[in-house]
Amino acid sequence: MATAFKVEPAEPVLSVQGLTTSFRVSGDWHAAVRDVSFDLAHNETLALVGESGCGKSMTALSIMGLVPKPAGRITAGRIMFEGSDLVSLDREAMRRIRGNRISMIFQEPMTSLNPVLTVGFQVAEALRYHRAMGGAEADRAALDLLEQVKIPSAARRFKDYPHQFSGGMRQRVMIAIALACRPQVLLADEPTTALDVTIQAEVLALLAELKQAYGMSMVFITHNLGVVAAIADRVAVMYAGEIVEVAAVRELFRRPRHPYTELLLRSIPRVDRHVSHLETIEGQVPSIAAMPAGCRFAPRCPLREARCDAPPPLAGAAHHVVRCWVRSEGGGHG
């Protein structure tokens, strides 16, 4: 009789555990990201979604070790990568990982690219630093990267400056820089926000193609749920510094459980329906210095109950968890 072997799940490539990142405001420390936990599997795309000010970008900056000091600091949690806790690494050890094993595409390429250096020099810089390549070898590899991200006439444009590129082409340069060292993890912080719809679709297709070719894992940060549907495998919804729901992308769109997620989905304009007005979410994300004591979404929530004055846990089945007293028990659309 054949012996049955138990197949253990593969270790995640990145594991964020109880991450809390705080900032000093008027003399007191307040959490901008609180108790955030998620695992990123090999070759998976996890989308972090939510309104501006929900902590998405700060989560990515925390992973990269780029929390601005002394005003900000990681006050709790671990970020496990390749057997090491990134939170505990010294500056030099983190520099060897940043831009090499973990890379980031920043939100606005015009402020991220150096205006006085050519794009070719900036793409080659990571190769010279992390791969110890000589000038000519790094330039050849950088040119190959610009061709991979489909910069037209890449050889001719190698010595052009960022201002000579369109917004979409600058974003492609940022992607080339991020992928120069073939990282295991790519953090993409709203890389299509400033682009028109056509260019946005091209950049999304390019990211999906390169992710598959390089075998990377990706955390894709966005407030655009339409983008999420096109690129993500799983979705983590953030609100006021906390993760409030995590599910596979199809499950989330089919059966959102947190009231915030449901309202976000309702606010997406639908081309297949006549819309007399746009759906909105009343109120705004609270500031880090004025967070509600219980559920952080409660002041804006149409389902609020008395028990919402206490902080809800993130609970549910492994494939779909939600931080909501009302929805975590019964599920579905009450």
Query: Which one, of 91, 90, 57, 11, lies nearest residue 220 by Cα?
Result: 57
Residues 207 and 300 in one domain: yes
Residues 219 and 302 in one domain: yes
pLDDT at 201: 85
The sign of the CA dihedral 230, 232, 234, 235 is negative
Residues 80 and 118 in one domain: no
pLDDT tier, 39 (very low <50, low <70, confident <90, very high otherwise): very high
Residues 89 and 225 in one domain: yes
- How far CA 149 is from CA of 123, 190, 266, 280, 311, in Å, comes to 12, 18, 34, 37, 45
Whether the bond between 312 and the residue before it is cis, its omega within 30 degrees of 0, is no
- Write out the residue range of the structural domain in which residue 157 sits: 102-180
Looking at the predicted structure, is the pLDDT value of residue 8 above 60? Answer: no
Highest mean pLDDT among 35-49, 184-198, 220-234, 268-282: 35-49
Q: What is the value of pTM for the model shown?
A: 0.90
Average pLDDT (138-160) is 95
pLDDT at 270: 64
Average pLDDT (105-134) is 90
In-domain check, residue 44: yes
> Regarding predicted confidence, which is higher, 202 or 329?
202
Residues 63 and 133 in one domain: no
> What tokens appear for 79 in the block?
């970020």
pLDDT at 273: 63
- Specify the number of domains making up the chain: 2
> What tokens appear for 234 in the block?
């799983």
Encode pLDDT of 198-246 as tens digits.
Answer: 788 888 888 988 898 889 999 999 988 888 988 999 999 999 999 999 9
The answer to whether 20 touches 67, Cβ cutoff 8 Å, is: no
Looking at the predicted structure, is the pLDDT value of residue 298 above 90? Answer: yes
pLDDT tier, 266 (very low <50, low <70, confident <90, very high otherwise): confident
The last residue of one of the domains, among 180, 198, 227, is 180
Looking at the predicted structure, is the pLDDT value of residue 331 above 50? Answer: no
Q: Using the structure block, give the residue that is written with the tokens 């793409």.
A: 123
The answer to whether 211 touches 183, Cβ cutoff 8 Å, is: no
In-domain check, residue 109: yes
- Residues of the chain with pLDDT > 70: what percent? 93
Looking at the predicted structure, is the pLDDT value of residue 1 above 60? Answer: no
Looking at the predicted structure, is the pLDDT value of residue 21 above 90? Answer: yes
Q: What is the largest CA-CA distance in the chain?
A: 70
Residues 80 and 186 in one domain: yes
Residues 119 and 251 in one domain: no
pLDDT tier, 112 (very low <50, low <70, confident <90, very high otherwise): confident
We report the CATH number of the domain holding residue 220 as 3.40.50.300
Residues 275 and 159 in one domain: no
In-domain check, residue 5: no
Strand partners, 92: none
Looking at the predicted structure, is the pLDDT value of residue 28 above 90? Answer: yes
pLDDT at 7: 42
pLDDT at 125: 94
Q: Using the structure block, give the residue that is written with the tokens 């190959």.
A: 144
Encode pLDDT of 251-263 as tens digits.
Answer: 999 999 999 999 9
In-domain check, residue 4: no
The last residue of one of the domains, among 128, 158, 180, is 180
> What tokens appear for 143 in the block?
């040119």
CB-based burial, 198-236: b 16+ in 10 Å, e otherwise: ebbebbbebbeebbeebebbbbbbbbebebbeebbbbbb
Encode pLDDT of 69-101 as tens digits.
Answer: 899 999 999 999 999 999 999 999 999 999 999
In-domain check, residue 1: no
In-domain check, residue 171: yes
CB-based burial, 267-293: b 16+ in 10 Å, e otherwise: eeeeeeeeeeeeeebeeebbebeebee
